[in-house]
Chains A and B, each alone.
Chain A
Amino acid sequence: MTDSDGAPLKKTPLHASHVALGARMVPFGGWDMPVEYSGITAEHMAVRTAAGLFDVSHMGEVEIAGKGALEAVQHITSNDASKLQVGQIQYSGLTTPEGTFVDDLLVYRFGPSHYLLVINAGNIDKDYAWIAARAKEAVPDVATVNSSDRYALIAVQGPKAQDILQALTAIDLAAIKYYWFANGEIAGVRGTVSRTGYTGEDGFEVMVPPAMAARVWDALLQAGKAHGLIPAGLGARDTLRLEAAMRLYGNDIDEQSTVIEADLGWIVGWNKTEFLGRDVLHAQKTGGTKKTMVGFEMTERAIARHGHSVFHNGQPVGVVTSGTQTPFLKKAIGMAYVPPTLKAPGTELEIDIRGRKAKAVVVPLPFYKRPKK
């Protein structure tokens, strides 16, 4: 199999496990990845009600270390990394000088002067070239390393995730707060456990050396069986993240949309005097934007998809960035860019679905919020 450029598809260290489990494999961001095992609906529901196991080893990692590491991270990302303690993580934007997204990412503070950035699979080469060049603008001698091949990443997500993972590790998982991590052994393998995910559910992501990935994967499948855990693919990952209104790079955000337009002002560290894109973002925060991201729900039976045009009172006003029929909420939902004047919940929209205009209404984001314990 090859990707659209004809290059051979990359395989994660768990590729053979997916094939053995009968997964349907598809090309994604240059990787041969499982899109589903038992079916998107079943996998989605398992994550909302019990647990799902995801191979997300295709995600990239870039490390920035040494004196000046913080200064470099502060220059290239939108959020304020100075707020991070060792062991803490933040969601952030890798921004252009225009305030748009080179990528979105997680910033882990590994050590006092050591940061690990988790980036999207399809952007690894682009991001690393960008980060290496731009970090040096801030700190000429800072070390940047593309360590994507050094980590396998496995996500265990769902209300049972903690019980399942706790059986395999001495790390006290209850003590790990949301967006924090701890180091230790998982199924006898040295690694890192973070309370993070891309599903809107409680859960963890486990980072281990690629050679040990299958051992940890198998142990989690085994330990999870009694709790209802099943392997879950990219299909369910997409419907889960959309219910939680988490942005997907390449669909909802890209180099044409700014952090403010994407309604992600909360990942901007306004206290910072400088970072790439600050001037544009500050001007947009105070002066407004031409477009803003909203959530919508179809009020007619039809499913909006990425790229469909959005209308209001018969006039074209924007475009759908993500849309699906969600298995848990059992509604057709989506996100779109529209003029800020149309962002109020209750505003009526029409979506052009293959030539037919179907009615939709703006609703608050996220669509789904997990019940508080």
Chain B
Amino acid sequence: MSYPADLKYTKEHEWIRVDGNTGAIGITDFAQQQLGDVVYVELPEVGSTITAGKVFGTIESVKAVSELFAPVSGEVVEINSSLKDRPDHVNSKPHETWMVKVKLGSTGELSSLMDAAAYEQLIQK
């Protein structure tokens, strides 16, 4: 699977797709492969604030639990409620299946994230 050029990536394998001053956050194809079958995603509540580099939720596969790290800071404006019944979409469509949408605090944080080419290099190491 290729890594879309319109996403920005973290070294913890999250991505963010920015649209205006809103960012949708998910995990990468590499991350879902490492996790295996995802069965549960625990997300923050709408209205709460997440902080760049800090844990904002957890994701569980059959075998293991991992933390989700925020690529940027901001207020959660929407969570993907379809994940409750279809957590497997994280596996089948990792780059389309967003988990939370946040109102960006500052766009400056985006510049510290990787583009697709840099991320692909990271995961090939």
A36 interfacial contact with B, CB 8 Å: yes
User: Which residues 31-61 in A have Cβ within 8 Å of B in the complex?
Assistant: 35-36, 39-41, 44
Q: Is the CB of B36 within 8 A of A40?
A: yes
**Does the CB pair B65–A41 fall under 8 Å?**
no
A window 340-360: CB within 8 A of B: 354
B contact residues around A166 at 8 Å (CB):
none
- How far is A238 from B36 in the complex, measured between Cα atoms in Å? 14
- The number of chain A residues touching the other chain, given as a range, is 10 to 19
Tell me which residues across on chain B come within 8 A of A39, comparing CB atoms. 36-37, 91
- Are B62 and A235 in contact (CB-based, < 8 A)? yes
Contact A327 B40 (CB under 8 A): no
Q: How far is the CA of A303 from the CA of B40 in the complex (A)?
A: 8
The number of residues on chain B lying at the interface, defined by a beta carbon within 8 Å of a beta carbon of chain A, is: 14
- B60 at the A interface (CB under 8 A): yes
Counting residue pairs across A and B whose Cβ atoms lie within 8 Å, the total is 41
What A residues does B63 contact at CB under 8 A? 35, 40, 235, 238, 324
Whether the Cβ atoms of B58 and A40 lie closer than 8 Å is: no
Check: A301 CB closer than 8 A to any chain B CB: yes
**CB–CB A36/B65 < 8 A:** no
B117 to chain A, nearest CB (A): 26
- Residues of A at the B interface (CB closer than 8 Å) are 24, 35-36, 39-41, 44, 235, 238-239, 301-303, 305, 324-325, 327, 332, 354
Known: A40-B61, A235-B63, A302-B40. 19 other contacts (CB 8 A): A24-B36, A35-B36, A39-B37, A40-B36, A40-B62, A41-B62, A41-B88, A301-B40, A301-B84, A302-B42, A303-B60, A324-B62, A324-B63, A325-B39, A325-B40, A327-B37, A327-B62, A332-B40, A354-B58
